[in-house]
């Protein structure tokens, strides 16, 4: 159904930087994700795992789900999907949902049959969801049971000819989609029905090519693209994380070990995002820990969850960390159980890092670096250190090979800046049905990250700048080209360029430089109020058509011409510098 470029092994003889630890257990290449997690043992996994430790804990009700219950529920749902909906090997199922205890069950049930999962942001607009449905060729949806999600899903499904009966709901049934069954009902039915489905078994080596996920990323440029992730990639990254963190080794005292069976991790990162999917969900379960599943992030609610469930491990993104440092509710928060904080998706500032350490003086605190294209983490702070070095994305993880390419094409040495290019066993296959974009990012199984870094002699990676165009807003990727396309649909816009500007809470936010349409320019000349009205209309246009984190929080600036090179490419860096200068000028004016 999907095509990706055939990536052959690298033939280059260029020097490379290897991770400090290279010896790690074999990565099984004949297992699906649920077979690896639910059915087999592995040398990197804690053995024996803590008896009686729940895998999932529902934040609201406190209900717990153990491994065997989840395994049985997965089997039952797979049975119903096969029998009632004729889902077969290779079919794509889209999950449009907030975190839910049945979210992994839905993933694993589809994988048992041989299907492919694509997770989507439940705050998407109808247009955004339609785009992902069309790009993945999905024929079936699991949808969160709230009014907004169901309404959006039904409208998008109508556009791509998915009948309402092929929408299945997390949680209770809804009058908004009366033909939709619920996962709970299907699981109960599947448990008492005769087994009819045929579980997908992989031949040796097939795990490296058998699709598991179509997870969306904007790559280094352009609109969001479906990253084709095979089963082997997720399994490989889980094992890399396990070995790097020595989760099955008594390398220090029990009290000071980073991950311990029976610890409790917060599950507030969205499972549709690669960070939440691989590290917060699959790795934590592999480590024999519990996950408190939280559907929607609310900071005060998160503090209550930490106290209620005695959560030990926080996996967060920078905006959430900023709240830990600045929110007034912290004055009375019961956070004494927290002993580990991992931050990913974007860098932390020095000031925030210092504040976090003061608030949690005894906790393990650090950052990791990764991409959807590498099926998440490629670096994490060294296991020998309780704290990651400020500004460091972490140490290269086991199995990782890196190059740092200078502008002249030669390879940088230690502590020299350049473009980071990564090779990892967890690499994706490429972008589905997008050969041009695949060739731009995936070169002979190396991934061109689009980030400027330096690597020191300890194999730690320090991210210096983003060479790629993509912005990171609250940990989410935002493609300027996508917003520019939306802006050009506005009648007052003749040309546009979107850049990211720094923001203390979100990391960065989108700002638009707009060339007004000729008639609009005349209106602004004739009426001083027109400029503000047009700006407000442009901002509202984006808000009406895009998910919240893509809104123009940085505002709109009018400009006479968008700078471009002779070939017509936007000189985005020029306007990024201009935007930051404007931002500083505004800040000075407020003093």
Do the two domains 17-48+206-466 and 473-590 of this chain adopt the same fold? Answer: no
- 3-state SS, residue 204: coil
Q: What is the pLDDT of residue 587?
A: 72
Q: What is the rounded distance in angstroms from the CA atom of residue 217 to the CA atom of residue 575?
A: 24
Residue 287 contacts residue 46 (beta carbons within 8 Å):
yes
Residue 227 contacts residue 374 (beta carbons within 8 Å):
no
Q: What is the pLDDT of residue 567?
A: 45
Instruction: Name the residue with tokens 């090519």.
Output: 209
- Torsions phi, psi for 105 (to 5 deg): -60, -45
- 3-state SS, residue 510: strand
Instruction: Name the residue with tokens 């967890």.
Output: 426
What does the block give as tokens for 110?
Answer: 């589809």
Give the closest residue to 214 by CA, choosing from 433, 432, 451, 532: 432
What does the pLDDT look like over 545-555, one tens digit per residue?
Answer: 999 999 999 99
What does the block give as tokens for 281?
Answer: 């969900």
What does the pLDDT look like over 368-415, one tens digit per residue?
Answer: 999 999 999 999 999 999 988 887 889 999 999 999 999 888 899 898
Residue 372 contacts residue 349 (beta carbons within 8 Å):
no
Handedness of CA 539, 542, 544, 550 (dihedral sign): negative
Q: Let me know if 385 is exposed, middle or buried by CB neighbors in 10 A (0-12, 13-18, 19+).
A: middle
3-state helix, strand, coil in the chain (%, to 5): 35, 25, 40
Q: Taking the mean position of all CA atoms in its chain, how far away is CA 286? A: 19
Q: The domain at 17-48+206-466 falls in which architecture?
A: 3-Layer(aba) Sandwich (3.40)
Cα–Cα distances (Å) from 328 to 300, 315, 333, 548, in that order, read 10, 21, 9, 25
CA dihedral 162, 164, 168, 170 (to 10 degrees): 120
Cα–Cα distances (Å) from 56 to 42, 44, 404, in that order, read 21, 21, 40
Give the per-residue SS3 of 210-235: CEEEEEEECCCCCCCEEEEEEHHHHH
Q: What is the rounded distance in angstroms from the CA atom of residue 40 to the CA atom of residue 238?
A: 14
Q: At what angle do helices 67-85 and 183-192 cross, to 10 degrees?
A: 90
Q: Where are the beta strands (DSSP E) in 412-552?
A: 418-423, 430-431, 442-443, 446-455, 460-466, 471-473, 476-478, 493-503, 507-516
What does the block give as tokens for 540?
Answer: 């509202």
Q: The domain at 66-192 falls in which architecture?
A: 3-Layer(aba) Sandwich (3.40)
Give the closest residue to 168 by CA, choosing from 110, 226, 210, 252: 110
Q: What is the rounded distance in angstroms from the CA atom of residue 90 to the CA atom of residue 82?
A: 13
- In Å, the largest CA–CA distance within the chain is 77
Q: What is the rounded distance in angstroms from the CA atom of residue 98 to the CA atom of residue 178?
A: 21
In tens digits, the chain (591 residues) has pLDDT values of 555 544 433 333 347 888 887 677 899 999 999 999 999 999 999 976 566 789 999 999 999 999 999 999 999 999 999 999 999 999 999 999 999 999 999 999 999 999 999 999 999 999 999 999 999 999 999 999 999 999 999 999 999 999 999 999 998 888 888 889 999 999 999 988 888 898 999 999 999 999 999 999 866 566 789 999 999 999 999 999 999 999 999 999 999 999 999 999 999 999 999 999 999 999 999 999 999 999 999 999 999 999 999 999 999 988 788 889 888 999 999 999 999 999 987 777 777 788 899 999 999 999 999 999 999 999 999 999 998 888 788 999 999 999 999 988 889 989 898 999 999 999 999 999 999 999 999 998 899 998 888 999 889 998 887 666 778 888 787 878 788 878 888 999 888 889 988 887 888 899 999 999 888 999 998 888 899 999 999 999 999 999 999 999 999 999 998 887 554 556 777 888 888 888 887 777 766
What does the block give as tokens for 335?
Answer: 């956070």
- Torsions phi, psi for 37 (to 5 deg): -85, -35
Q: What is the pLDDT of residue 210?
A: 98
Q: What is the rounded distance in angstroms from the CA atom of residue 290 to the CA atom of residue 320?
A: 21
Cα–Cα distances (Å) from 517 to 266, 267, 521, in that order, read 49, 47, 6
Handedness of CA 380, 383, 56, 323 (dihedral sign): negative
What does the block give as tokens for 96?
Answer: 């449009």
134 contact partners, CB below 8 Å, separation of at least 6: 160
Q: What is the pLDDT of residue 339?
A: 97
Cα–Cα distances (Å) from 234 to 23, 207, 453, in that order, read 19, 10, 25
Q: What is the rounded distance in angstroms from the CA atom of residue 268 to the CA atom of residue 63?
A: 17
Q: What is the rounded distance in angstroms from the CA atom of residue 549 to the CA atom of residue 405?
A: 32
Count CB-CB contacts under 10 A for residue 491: 11
| Domain 473-590 belongs in CATH node 1.10.10.60 | no
Q: Which residues of 94-132 are buried (b: 16+ CB within 10 A; e: fewer)?
A: bbbbbbbbbbbbbbbbbbbbbbbbbbbbbbbbbebbbbb
Count CB-CB contacts under 10 A for residue 145: 20
- On the CB side of 61, CA atoms within 13 Å amount to 7
- 3-state SS, residue 527: coil
Domain boundary assignment for the chain: 17-48+206-466, 66-192, 473-590
Q: Where are the alpha helices (DSSP H) in 346-488?
A: 350-359, 435-441, 480-487
- On the CB side of 269, CA atoms within 13 Å amount to 29
- On the CB side of 147, CA atoms within 13 Å amount to 0
């Amino acid at each position: 159904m999907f095509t990706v470029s055939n990536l052959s092994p690298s033939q280059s003889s260029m020097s490379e930087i290897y991770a400090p630890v290279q010896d790690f257990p074999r990565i099984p290449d004949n297992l699906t994700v649920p077979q690896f997690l639910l059915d087999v043992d592995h040398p990197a996994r804690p053995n024996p795992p803590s008896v009686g430790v729940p895998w999932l804990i529902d934040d609201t009700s406190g209900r717990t789900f153990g491994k065997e219950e989840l395994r049985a529920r997965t089997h039952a749902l797979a049975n119903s999907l096969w029998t009632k909906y004729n889902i077969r090997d290779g079919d794509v199922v889209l999950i449009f949902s907030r975190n839910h205890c049945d979210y992994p069950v839905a993933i694993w049930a589809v994988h048992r049959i041989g299907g492919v999962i694509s997770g989507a942001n439940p705050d998407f607009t109808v247009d955004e969801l339609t785009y992902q449905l069309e790009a993945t060729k999905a024929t079936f949806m699991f949808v969160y049971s709230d009014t907004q999600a169901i309404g959006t899903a039904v409208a998008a499904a109508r556009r791509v000819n998915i009948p309402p009966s092929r929408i299945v709901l997390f949680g209770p049934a809804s009058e908004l989609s009366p033909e939709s069954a619920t996962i709970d009902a299907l699981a109960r039915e599947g448990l008492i029905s005769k087994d009819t489905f045929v579980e997908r078994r992989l031949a040796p080596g097939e795990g490296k090519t058998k699709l598991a996920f179509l997870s969306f990323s904007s790559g280094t440029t352009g609109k969001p693209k479906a990253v084709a992730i095979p089963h082997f990639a997720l399994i490989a990254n889980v094992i890399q994380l396990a070995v790097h963190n020595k989760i099955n080794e008594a390398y220090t005292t029990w009290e000071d070990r980073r991950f311990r069976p029976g610890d409790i991790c917060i599950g507030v990162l969205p499972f549709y995002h690669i960070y939440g999917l691989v590290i917060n969900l699959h790795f934590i379960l592999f480590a024999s820990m519990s996950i408190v599943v939280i559907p929607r992030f609310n900071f005060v609610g998160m503090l209550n969850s930490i106290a209620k469930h005695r959560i030990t491990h926080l996996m967060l993104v920078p905006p959430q960390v900023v709240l830990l440092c600045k929110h007034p509710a912290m004055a009375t928060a019961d956070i004494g159980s927290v002993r580990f904080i991992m931050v990913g998706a974007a860098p932390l500032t020095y000031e925030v890092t210092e504040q976090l350490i003061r608030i949690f003086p005894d906790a393990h605190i650090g950052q990791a670096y990764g991409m959807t294209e590498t099926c998440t983490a490629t670096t994490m702070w060294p296991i020998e250190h309780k704290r990651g070095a400020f500004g460091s994305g972490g140490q290269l993880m086991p199995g990782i090979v890196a190059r740092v390419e200078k502008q002249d094409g030669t390879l940088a040495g230690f502590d020299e800046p350049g473009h980071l290019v990564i090779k990892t066993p967890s690499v994706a296959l490429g972008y589905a049905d997008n050969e041009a974009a695949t060739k731009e990012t995936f070169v002979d199984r190396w991934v061109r990250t689009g980030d400027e870094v330096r690597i020191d002699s300890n194999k730690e990676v320090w991210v210096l700048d983003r060479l790629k165009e993509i912005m990171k807003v609250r940990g989410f990727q935002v493609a300027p080209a996508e917003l520019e396309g939306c802006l050009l649909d506005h009648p007052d816009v003749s040309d546009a360029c979107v850049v990211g500007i720094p923001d203390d809470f979100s990391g960065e936010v989108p700002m638009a430089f707009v060339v007004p349409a000729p008639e609009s320019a005349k209106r602004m000349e004739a009426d001083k109020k027109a400029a503000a009205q047009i700006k407000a209309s442009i901002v509202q246009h984006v808000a009406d058509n895009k998910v919240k984190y893509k809104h123009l929080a940085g505002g709109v600036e009018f400009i006479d011409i968008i700078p471009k090179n002779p070939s017509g490419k936007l000189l985005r860096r020029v306007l990024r510098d201009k935007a930051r200068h404007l931002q500083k000028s505004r800040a000075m004016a407020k003093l």
